[in-house]
Amino acid sequence: MPRPRVLVIDDEILVRSMVLDILDEAGFDVIEAANGREGLDLFAGNPTDVVITDILMPEMEGLETIAALRKLSPDVKIIAISGGGSAKYMEFLKISESLGAMRTLAKPLDADHLVQEVNTLLQTAVSH
């Protein structure tokens, strides 16, 4: 049985590396992109079960990325992430939900919670 594939889109290499390590250890096949445009290119060429995207990034920010992912694949499971607990970041996470993110997480990410959220979305995908 193939490992579920997760695409991680974040401009911060340390965040991508941490998320990749967490998800790889949890049994996922992880691919990564440094911005939304790169992420969309990877997504188009690689069947992906879950996409985790940052909101604030250069090139193509996360809200635009989420909207574009929804157009490419209405059923894709998306988790939006953003830094800190400030009102500005929390507002971006709320907007991401209105654009199609199914879950939102604030940085710094908790490893167990991240794996739990990905697994929950995968179970949701299977039950359709």
Over residues 79-117, the pLDDT tens digits come to 999 986 677 778 888 899 999 999 999 988 999 999 999
* Cross-sheet strand order for the sheet of 50-54: 29-33, 5-9, 50-54, 77-83, 103-107
The first and second tokens of residue 50, run together, are 């879950």
Using CA atoms, how far apart are residues 26 and 91, in angstroms rounded to an integer? Answer: 30
- Domain 5-120 superfamily per CATH: Response regulator (3.40.50.2300)
Query: Per-domain residue ranges for the chain?
Result: 5-120
At 37-81, the pLDDT tens digits run 999 999 999 889 999 999 988 888 999 999 999 999 999 999 999
Evaluated on CA atoms 46, 106, 102, 64, the torsion sign reads negative
Using CA atoms, how far apart are residues 80 and 55, in angstroms rounded to an integer? Answer: 7
What pTM does this model have?
Answer: 0.93
